[in-house]
Structure 1
């Protein structure tokens, strides 16, 4: 099999760069969107970074749940960083181009993070299932080795899936170079191909369908078991605590999977430029922004850990 770089080199005779449609065609709105996106990006990075710091430096948060949350936060930082900095650059300069190799890198890095997040969400559901349904065996089941293996498996599946799509997408000959999307993504790139992309669509439907639907089914099964266990809890306080630990996760799952399924699990002919661009903003920009608020900043344990870390750092600096 040819490498992506070799195929990219062949295609450079036809297309050496792509033009991204971006958020708005109106130049007068570019600075406004730049400020909004910059603000969202800073808040997202700082919010997710705060959870990573809380997990890293707080002994109280050294549990599997926060291990997965810290990894999810790291993924969110990588996820939003694969698209938004380029959007900001294009909005500020007015130059909407991205090089052929830059497009490959953006598509691959975004795809790795997106695919990996699907299975990290499934791993988090599995963790909650064991915590609620098997509390006495929880520490033995979700030991450090198991947690590391789950995270490694998530990265391997995410990387392998997007590698297949990147290879298949960039071996296509492109007759146009304007991508009607806010970043380099597979569906709008297929629309630019000079040849029939039926094979690519089938592979996307099968492999992405497996990644998305399998992880979603794992989450669904976990929560069916969790719900049945919660309903057997006689203590109102215990029931509320069990529900609160799951609600945040379910909100993120709904936003993330809803938008991903809408964009990727449909034929190329159904791709609607403006509609899909709005949905793309939801899962590339809005979802990573919401996650710190949903998971950590409304979590008393995380807020308490951050306050303790800040006080400790302040006392150290004073001395």
Structure 2
């Protein structure tokens, strides 16, 4: 703590009390975090390696899937190792700089994933509704432009405003969470937060509701395109590809909307803490499982990679 005024004390560190006094719960949580982190790194890491190494997967769909895996790796590495360490202590302490870095990183990677899932829905819409012109519309330049735009948009919406006008913390420095989660940190700001609350809900709507609306619109068009298909095999392949993406979208957006958009009260506070703790765990862990177990091309590429068999064709 540093004295900044007669009755104010600037916060230089935070005490994370979200799971204080519950050693058994922390041990269970730590075990889940360790297993989840191992599966996430292994699964997403394999997807990145397979997509890069196998020329058969050098197309827009797997380019976006590879990027999604990289985002998931960044998101979990930002939060899980520190959360695992925090589980070992009843009242863990994090410096102001470490809390800021973790909070901004989670916001950046989480928002980027929201936008990327929307981009992947657009990619599937073009592939199914206009397959003959797919490679012309979603070419290499467009792929790079879409990927870059999602990162830039996420940065401008989440991190840039925080850097332009940093929050000031004074007095209470106890965070009711296992890590430096945004909503829990927001309660400790010692300045007037009425305008900031409006800004937060606006940003949350922009990064959650708008991409989700775009995804739903894309799938309405996709469904219409599938219904018009004459080939039963084509329909099944389209449903399989879209089913994987929809499963991830439902899991990710469902959790994020409940945590960040629903008003918090005493009845839902504990549930929000649990969901917020697992939101950065479950989706990144299940993404590679959902996309690989339902995708024969990725499974085939993985078998070729593990068997050191070179693919016979290239794009």
- Provide TM-score, normalisation by structure 2: 0.90
Distance 1:122 1:263 in 2: 20
Q: Secondary structure at the match of 1:19?
A: strand
Aligned length: 307
Are residues 1:77 and 2:73 paired? yes
Q: For the structure 1 residues 85 and 169, does the alpha-carbon distance in structure 2 shift closer, same or farther, using more than 3 Å as the test?
A: farther
The aligned residue for residue 313 of structure 2 is none
The aligned residue for residue 108 of structure 1 is 104
The aligned residue for residue 38 of structure 2 is 42
Are residues 1:120 and 2:94 paired? no
- 1:190 to partner: Cα distance: 2.0
Contact 1:201 1:267 in 2 (8 A): no
Q: Secondary structure at the match of 1:260?
A: helix
Which of 140, 143, 165 lines up with 1:144 in the alignment?
140
Which digits, 9 at most, give the CA deviation of each residue in 1:228-264, with x for residues without a partner?
0111112222111110010010111111111111122
Are residues 1:63 and 2:59 paired? yes
Are residues 1:180 and 2:176 paired? yes
Q: For the structure 1 residues 122 and 179, does the alpha-carbon distance in structure 2 shift closer, same or farther, using more than 3 Å as the test?
A: same
- 1:128 to partner: Cα distance: 0.1
The aligned residue for residue 299 of structure 2 is 303
Distance 2:89 2:185 in 1: 23
The 5 A counterparts of 1:107-256 are: 107-164=103-160, 166-167=162-163, 170-256=166-252
Distance 1:264 1:174 in 2: 24
Q: Which range is displaced more, 145-154 or 35-44?
A: 35-44
- 1:185 to partner: Cα distance: 2.1
- 1:287 to partner: Cα distance: 1.1
Q: Secondary structure at the match of 1:137?
A: helix
The 5 A counterparts of 1:5-44 are: 13-23=9-19, 25-44=21-40
Distance 1:266 1:30 in 2: 26
Q: Secondary structure at the match of 2:281?
A: helix
1 or 2, which has the higher helix percentage? 1
Which digits, 9 at most, give the CA deviation of each residue in 1:256-310, with x for residues without a partner?
1111111222446689431111221342111111111011244221111111112
Q: For the structure 1 residues 24 and 308, does the alpha-carbon distance in structure 2 shift closer, same or farther, using more than 3 Å as the test?
A: farther
- Provide TM-score, normalisation by structure 1: 0.89
